[in-house]
């Protein structure tokens, strides 16, 4: 399996509003990000996602996080969303997204959950919350997973510790509050994005 973007860092814009979404997405794209999720517990997410898909969907993998129900997958597919990120391992959600031709990054914590997600068709996994488990846990989990499955660390990943997660076997990371906090200035998003991109490039060179 191969992750479908050139930079395996997923920007998580939790809490963003439709008025702000495009400006922050533009900043992220300009800094090198090409995978963006807007969680479904954000205000008026339908408007934000449909707008960003329309304007930026050809340049990045755009979609939603905190996807909990198959019906939400249907709505996202109708918008043209191509990315579904889940906080848990729900085979019905994963199967529906795969049927719709979407890229799924399924949330899991244990080997059991990881294999359930893969059996349902998930193309990638996210270990959440990564900071609660640590890099040694990720290394141990990676040892039993298929080598070609991209694993993302989500939760507590910073520019300073990103290399540790990559060295543990993660393909990349999902970046939440350490990249974007609801209401922050676009300039702050740009600054943080630049730090993450620099840290990633330094780690893999």
Q: Which residues are catalytic?
A: 37, 126
Structure tokens of 23?
């400006």
Q: By the 8 A CB rule, do 197 and 9 touch?
A: yes
154 CB neighbour count, 10 Å cutoff: 26
Structure tokens of 72?
């939400």
Structure tokens of 158?
């910073």
Whether the upstream peptide bond of residue 129 has omega within 30° of 0, thus cis, is yes
């Amino acid at each position: 399996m191969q992750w479908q973007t050139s930079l395996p860092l997923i920007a998580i814009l939790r809490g963003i509003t439709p008025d702000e979404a495009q400006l922050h997405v533009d900043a992220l794209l300009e800094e090198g990000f090409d995978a963006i999720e807007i969680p479904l517990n954000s205000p008026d997410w339908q408007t934000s996602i449909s707008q960003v898909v329309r304007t930026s969907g050809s340049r990045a993998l755009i979609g939603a996080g905190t996807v909990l129900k198959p019906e939400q997958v249907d709505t996202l597919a109708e918008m043209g969303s191509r990315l579904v990120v889940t906080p848990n391992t729900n085979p019905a959600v994963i199967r529906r997204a795969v049927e719709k031709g979407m890229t799924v990054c399924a949330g899991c914590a244990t080997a059991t959950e990881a294999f359930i997600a893969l059996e349902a068709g998930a193309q990638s996994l996210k270990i959440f919350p990564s900071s609660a488990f640590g890099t040694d846990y990720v290394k141990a989990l990676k040892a039993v997973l298929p080598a070609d499955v991209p694993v993302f660390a989500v939760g507590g990943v910073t520019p300073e510790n990103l290399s540790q997660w990559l060295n543990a076997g993660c393909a990349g990371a999902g970046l939440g509050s350490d990249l974007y906090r609801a209401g922050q200035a676009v300039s702050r998003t740009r600054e943080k994005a630049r730090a993450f991109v620099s840290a990633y490039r330094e780690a893999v060179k």
